[in-house]
């Protein structure tokens, strides 16, 4: 399942963290392979058809205030 996260404030960041934490459960319990292919915030976007590294996206947002620097 490809996902685009539009908005990466508190809710978007918590969603990303939940997806990281529960990725294996979602795969085993429901057969879902979740891939975040884009994250957009008020200053830019990060996009990858192969799927974004959510740890990197979260760290970039914390350190630079935007996901555009991923």
The residues with which 43 forms a beta bridge, in sequence order, are none
Q: Does 32 map to a domain?
A: yes
Per residue in 35-62, pLDDT (tens digit) is 999 999 999 999 999 999 999 999 999 9
Q: What is the pLDDT of residue 51?
A: 98
Q: Which domain holds residue 8?
A: 2-64
Q: What is the pLDDT of residue 4?
A: 98
By C-alpha distance, which of 19, 25, 9 is closest to 51? 19
- Distance between CA atoms of 27 and 23, rounded to whole angstroms? 6
Tally of domains in the chain: 1
Domain at 33, CATH number: 3.40.50.720
Q: Does 17 map to a domain?
A: yes
pTM of the predicted structure, to 2 decimals: 0.92
Q: Does 69 map to a domain?
A: no
Q: Does 70 map to a domain?
A: no
Q: What is the pLDDT of residue 36?
A: 98
């Amino acid at each position: 399942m490809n996902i685009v996260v539009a908005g990466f404030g508190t809710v978007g960041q918590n969603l990303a963290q939940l997806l990281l934490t529960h990725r294996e459960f979602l795969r085993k319990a429901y057969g879902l392979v979740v891939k975040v292919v884009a994250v957009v915030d008020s200053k830019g976007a990060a996009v990858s058809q192969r799927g974004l590294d959510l740890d990197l996206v979260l760290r970039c947002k914390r350190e630079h205030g935007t996901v555009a620097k991923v």
